[in-house]
Structure 1
Amino acid sequence: MTDAGIQSILIADDEPLARERIRRLVDDIPGYQACGEASDGDSTLRGVAELQPDIVLLDIRMPGRDGMEVAERLNDLTHPPAIIFCTAYDHYAINAFQVQAIAYLLKPVRREALADALGRAGRVNRVQLQAMQARNENPETQLAVRTHRGTELIELAGIRYCEADQKYVTIHHAQGDTVTDFTLKELESSHPEQLMRIHRHTLVGIRHIQALHRSEDGQYRIRLRDDNTALAVSRRHVSDVRNRLSEA
């Protein structure tokens, strides 16, 4: 039983040294406390039933039921814990988000990456987890992005705009900013219903547009909702922008 305001964490990994290292990392991050450990799939499920943790740090390759199967079973619960995968293998990332994982961290897990993932898990309450499960039935509502912290899941509806700078693209979204090696062309072609080209260097989330303005110097700009961010619109895209806005 953890103190009020402290997020409880179950650590599931078949390697004792890995569990010990992750426990030390958790102990070093304020607001979180390890409530138990598990060494295989079955003991993980038993630990969740007995301890009711808020978050499970889950390895994928474990004896018996692997982490993916455990995650599927956990998501059938009425009140599932948030799941953060900690693994040495990067090729499970897309499958991880199909079972509603909050984050996917590669070993050796860094303190900064774990703290960031725990912070995101802590912001997802039980109601939001159930809503996330419903949304994940349609994978086109989310974007899996590989970053230096691991693979992150971004809600397409939360993307405000994407900005290219040399060979990287920064995605500005509801939870912050994420740098990715996706190109603007890839994002535009994959998600034409959500993202619209307004400039050679910029895509914008259509639902976040407040208005299209023309300044005294003849430059067109799109103003976004919430914080009134203004984004330049190139002349070649003005007509397309107007047409899309008239259809919205």
Structure 2
Amino acid sequence: MGWNIVIADDEEPAREELIYLLESSEEVDKVTAATGGMDAIKKVKELAPDVLFLDMDMPDLSGLQVAEIVGEMNPQVKIVFSTAYDQYAIHAFKLRAFHYMLKPYDEEDIAMVFRELRKIQPQNSAAAATALGQSASIKTSVKLALELEEGIRYVSPKDIMYISKEVKHVEVHLHDKAYIVSYTLSELEQKLEPYGFFRCHKSYLVNLAAISEMKTWVNGAYNLLMEDAGRSTIPVSRNYVKQLRLKLEI
């Protein structure tokens, strides 16, 4: 059984783009569109969705107003705010927002939401159930196979600092050396997430244990300072900052 989702956005292009991205996922069972705040409340009453994607700026009711009403009416609904502006983020999380996305969206934004949903409600996703089964069988001796011209090099996940997507290939970065691999970044994310790796940017996957600092950058984004030999700097997209801090900090 997949996710039942309602989208509330009065701008048709943004609404249709989000519908397209969501319906492209095998984890989604149903997507229903609402054209404004009142329509969103009505559809939440009728459909009791798992997730409500909620635009902040709508003509009848704001996203914050809708979130307050929905929170009282059906607190089980996970609210994902979506907006072109990041100044609403603090207010959104005060209302217990599940996630916060900035327009324009991309596939990785949606994937991030589903990853977090699977962690709290894994029974709603067949894909998550498979992942959990795989996690249960993980052994500490398992290593990542890097196919090189001279053969195969086996690398322990703890020795990988980060992974980057370059223009035409993906590179696995160890403490003082990088290897070009045939994997996609998404494949490596799936393989390494159980070992403490986090997708902090559409082009980067980092080992949480290899992060030494997080420095403020511009427009709410951050840079990570890694513990490799070159003290590499890795960007963190604004959408991922909150989840990264939740995973990284005690």
TM-score scaled by length of structure 1:
0.51
Partner of residue 67, structure 1:
63
Deviations 1:155-207 (A, max 9, x none): xxxx999622786257xxxxxxx9759xxxxxxxxxxxxxxxxxxxxxx966x
Structure 1 gap segments, 5+ residues each = 126-146, 150-158, 171-177, 182-203, 207-248
Contact map agreement 1:169 1:180 (CA 8 A) in 2: no
Letter of the structure 1 residue corresponding to residue 93 of structure 2:
F
Counterpart CA distance in 2 for 1:78 and 1:62 is: 21
Q: Does 1:37 align with 2:33?
A: yes
Match of 2:90 among 89, 94, 97: 94
Matches within 5 A, 1:1-248: 5-125=1-121, 148=201, 163-164=212-213, 168-169=224-225
Q: 1:100 to 1:205 in 2, by over 3 A?
A: closer
Counterpart CA distance in 1 for 2:36 and 2:47 is: 16
Shift of 1:82: 0.4
Shift of 1:121: 2.7
TM-score scaled by length of structure 2:
0.50
Q: Secondary structure of 2:22's partner?
A: helix
Counterpart CA distance in 2 for 1:108 and 1:180 is: 17
Structure 2 gap segments, 5+ residues each = 122-199, 203-207, 216-222, 227-233, 238-247
Shift of 1:148: 4.8
Q: 1:205 to 1:61 in 2, by over 3 A?
A: closer
Contact map agreement 2:7 2:33 (CA 8 A) in 1: yes
Q: Secondary structure of 1:85's partner?
A: strand
Contact map agreement 2:54 2:80 (CA 8 A) in 1: yes
Contact map agreement 1:161 1:205 (CA 8 A) in 2: no
- CA-based RMSD of the aligned residues comes to 3.3
Contact map agreement 1:59 1:87 (CA 8 A) in 2: yes
Q: 1:11 to 1:78 in 2, by over 3 A?
A: closer
Identity of aligned residues (%): 31
Counterpart CA distance in 2 for 1:169 and 1:72 is: 38
Contact map agreement 1:38 1:44 (CA 8 A) in 2: yes
Counterpart CA distance in 2 for 1:165 and 1:94 is: 20
Letter of the structure 2 residue corresponding to residue 168 of structure 1:
L
Counterpart CA distance in 1 for 2:9 and 2:83 is: 9
Counterpart CA distance in 2 for 1:40 and 1:91 is: 21
**Using CA pairs below 8 Å that are at least 6 residues apart, which structure has the higher relative contact order?**
2
Q: 1:168 to 1:160 in 2, by over 3 A?
A: closer
Counterpart CA distance in 2 for 1:93 and 1:161 is: 28
Q: 1:9 to 1:180 in 2, by over 3 A?
A: same
Deviations 1:84-117 (A, max 9, x none): 1111111111111111111111111111111111
Letter of the structure 1 residue corresponding to residue 99 of structure 2:
A
